[in-house]
Amino acid sequence: MLKAEVKEHLKNDIIPFWQSMKDEVYGGFYGYLGFDLKLDKEAVKGCILNSRILWFFSNAYMVLGEKSLLESARHAFLFLNEYCVDREYNGVYWSLNYKGEPEDTTKHTYNQAFAIYALSSYYDASHDKEALEIAHNLYHLIETKCKDEYGYLEAFSRDFEPVDNNKLSENGVLAEKTMNTLLHVFEAYTELYRVAKEECVADQLRFMLDIIADKVYNSKLGRQEVFFDRTWNTLIDLYSYGHDIETAWLVDRGLEVLGDADYTAKLTPMTRTITENIYNRAYIDHSLVNEAENGVVDTTRVWWVQAEAIVGFLNGYQKSPEQKKYLEAAEDIWDYIKNNLIDKRNGSEWFWELDKDRNPIEKPIVEPWKCPYHNGRMCFEVIRRLEDAS
């Protein structure tokens, strides 16, 4: 039931919506659709948004096999290659104007990582060696320009001078390092290693797994910390429920791809604890609450948090099949999504977030962060995992 409904939603709703956002004049995809469903064809085009769309259509093609999906991925790839990559200083810009000209030339490690993630998947789908070559160039860029002895630095000017990390800092702090960026570098390198199997990438996966286990994970509280200084001292009491459940399954995925028994033994107890704690602490009213700062819970239900919860709980069930409660939670959250988060209006997709009474909060349907990455990936993971199980 879960797999069939999710697959139908992917094919009939999510894919057609994002194909309708294709900009046939200037390339890439339109950058903004308001809550009122008014399309702004001259809005900024976020490079993260374009990378995530490239990743989405590449994986949609690999899951469903329809040629039009590969063509949509190609459309995103051509835009990334021609406009998002800085030919003078290397790396991927933060954003472009609607014509494809640089708008914000900040170079952020998070942004480079998402391009690697997308290009690696696109290479797998298309066998286009140019995509893998660009991914390798960005990998070497991160390793040479965006790293110190403690981990990955984050925010840089166009020519890679350090700047304040205001794009990935929230909740009133300015962090030099974030759990979020580390997680997505790990995710990107996992995909790059999966398709290219280079030992240098495997070594960096081990480097990050040690940081996650020894610095980011708070074993006393059974959760991850979120914002850090340069040497991984935490800056704020913040519990990000969505990032925790996302980390649990992404780390498990990375361990599977890496195939290192020692690291699997080291990290698996952590991912199991994180999953259990999210189930007990954040799974409320058929959905996941957002986060807790200084113990105060933010009860909004954010689109990406619900999507990641389904994958995280499904992963928890597959790792521990005796834990039927996780499978039931995944199915329950899907019911919540289809009855509340999916916007039934014609020409829309998912609401950004709901209040605790399930009323939509007026935020854009598409903007630089609102994309088909989380909900699309949830669909792919449900289809793949439940196909394997059947």
Q: Is the pLDDT of residue 30 over 70?
A: yes
Q: What is the pLDDT of residues 275-317, one digit of tens each?
A: 999 999 999 999 999 999 999 999 999 999 999 999 999 999 9
Burial class from Cβ neighbours inside 10 Å (0-12, 13-18, 19+) for residue 1 reads exposed
Q: Categorize the per-residue pLDDT at 387 as very low, low, confident or very high, splitting at 50, 70 and 90.
A: confident
Q: What is the pLDDT of residue 170?
A: 87
Q: What is the pLDDT of residues 38-78, one digit of tens each?
A: 999 999 999 999 999 999 999 999 999 999 999 999 999 99
- Averaged pLDDT, 332-354: 98
Instruction: Express as a percent the part of the chain with pLDDT over 70.
Output: 99
Q: Enumerate long-range contacts of 74-77, CB under 8 Å, 24 or more apart.
A: 74/126, 75/22, 75/27, 75/28, 76/28, 76/29, 76/50, 76/118, 77/119, 77/122, 77/126, 77/128, 77/131
Alpha carbons 211 and 135: distance in angstroms, whole number:
23
Alpha carbons 241 and 130: distance in angstroms, whole number:
37
Give yes or no for a contact between 146 and 188, defined as CB atoms under 8 angstroms apart: no
Give yes or no for a contact between 244 and 274, defined as CB atoms under 8 angstroms apart: yes
Give one DSSP letter per residue of 58-88, joined into a string: HHHHHHH--HHHHHHHHHHHHHIIIIIB-TT
Alpha carbons 43 and 46: distance in angstroms, whole number:
9
- Give me the sign of the Cα torsion angle 218, 375, 291, 114: positive
CA dist 218 to 82, 123, 267, Å?
42, 36, 13
Q: What is the pLDDT of residue 219?
A: 98
Q: What is the pLDDT of residues 179-238, one digit of tens each?
A: 999 999 999 999 999 999 999 999 999 999 999 999 999 999 999 999 999 999 999 999
The kind and range of the H/E element at 307 are helix 303-319
- Averaged pLDDT, 253-267: 98
Instruction: Report phi then psi at 237, rounded to 5.
Output: -85, 90
Q: What is the pLDDT of residues 137-163, one digit of tens each?
A: 999 999 999 999 999 999 999 999 999
- Averaged pLDDT, 9-36: 98
Q: What is the pLDDT of residue 211?
A: 98
Closest CA to 309 of 254, 293, 285, 192: 285
Q: Is the pLDDT of residue 338 over 90?
A: yes
Q: Is the pLDDT of residue 389 over 90?
A: no
Which amino acid does the sequence have at 8? E
Q: Is the pLDDT of residue 390 over 60?
A: no
Give yes or no for a contact between 214 and 182, defined as CB atoms under 8 angstroms apart: no
Domains delineated in the chain: 2-389 (1.50.10.10)
